[in-house]
Copies of this chain bind each other. A is one copy, B any other.
Amino acid sequence: MSKALIIDDEQQMRRLLCMVLESRGYEVCEAADGQLGLQEAAFHRPDVVLLDLGLPGMNGIEVLKRLREWSDVPVLILSVRDQEAIKVEALENGADDYVTKPFGTAELLARLTVIQRRRFTRQSAEIVVGALKLDLLHHEALLDDAPIKLTPTEFALLKVLAEYAGRIVTQNQIIKQVWAGQTSDPSEGLRVHINHLRKKLGETGPRIVNEPGIGYRLEEA
């Protein structure tokens, strides 16, 4: 059975969500603001979090950031706003998906299932992209089953690209995930590491394609 944490200031909304989730066999706990939400998350260790962006006091995005400092729990964003920019910001800060109020219960449950499964596969021990295999457990990269030597930064960078293989990853997203919580500005150095990775991947491995002005994409060879 999965544990779900609801962070929303409206009691009515919490009750609705609570009913829906419990009828699906979730064990539910609730929090009325961001501060409490973080405490509950730390204490109950939920398997999934439903987070309202329109929280009083601490901003929903802020809650998400703080949560992501120590937890990989799947987060589903709830919001009434249809501001695209905020959605993107939430997703870039580690939210897993997004539903807009008002929403149907069927849609909500479907999303929950998807993000929980995705998180499960993501934390699986390895990522495979064509001839490349990343063993996250042993921090090892295999190309055609032969180990290749990657520095820690290179491994983290390749991991981000491989997780979203085939899709564009923004430079900001890369920097946020690889150089998380650091002060220096690695925007210049990113190009160097990409260059190193490309050499080590060689002809046989996946290609790192640049999308000028946007970011990079890992393409199966």
Q: How large is the interface on A (under 10, 10 to 19, 20 to 34, 35 or more residues)?
A: 35 or more
Q: Does A82 contact B139, Cβ atoms closer than 8 Å?
A: no
Q: Does A168 contact B (CB under 8 A)?
A: yes
From B125, B139, B168, B212, A84 is in contact (CB under 8 Å) with B125
From B88, B120, B137, B139, A137 is in contact (CB under 8 Å) with B88
Residues of B within 8 A of A130 (CB): none
CB distance from A96 to the nearest CB of B (A): 9
Q: Does A71 contact B (CB under 8 A)?
A: no
**Identical chains in the assembly:** 2
Q: How far is the CA of A119 from the CA of B81 in the complex (A)?
A: 11
Given A87-B124, A124-B98, A127-B84, residue A167 in contact with residue B151 (CB < 8 A): no
Mask: chain A, 37-56; 1 = CB below 8 Å from B; 0 = not? 00000000000000000000
Q: How far is the CA of A212 from the CA of B150 in the complex (A)?
A: 10
Q: Does A213 contact B87, Cβ atoms closer than 8 Å?
A: no
CB distance from A70 to the nearest CB of B (A): 19
Q: Does A27 contact B (CB under 8 A)?
A: no
From B84, B138, B168, A167 is in contact (CB under 8 Å) with B138
Residues of B within 8 A of A84 (CB): 125, 127, 136, 159, 163
Residues of B within 8 A of A168 (CB): 138-140
Q: Does A98 contact B119, Cβ atoms closer than 8 Å?
A: no
Given A139-B211, A139-B214, residue A125 in contact with residue B167 (CB < 8 A): no
Q: Does A215 contact B (CB under 8 A)?
A: yes
Chain A interface residues (CB < 8 Å from chain B): 82, 84, 87-88, 91-92, 97-98, 100, 111, 119-121, 123-125, 127, 136-140, 149, 151-152, 155, 159, 163-164, 167-170, 211-215
Nearest 4 A/B pairs, CB to CB: A152-B213, A100-B121, A87-B125, A138-B168
| 22 A-B pairs (CB sep. < 8 Å) | A82-B119, A84-B125, A84-B136, A87-B125, A88-B125, A88-B137, A91-B124, A91-B137, A97-B123, A98-B123, A111-B123, A138-B167, A138-B168, A139-B168, A139-B170, A139-B214, A139-B215, A140-B168, A149-B211, A151-B213, A152-B212, A152-B214
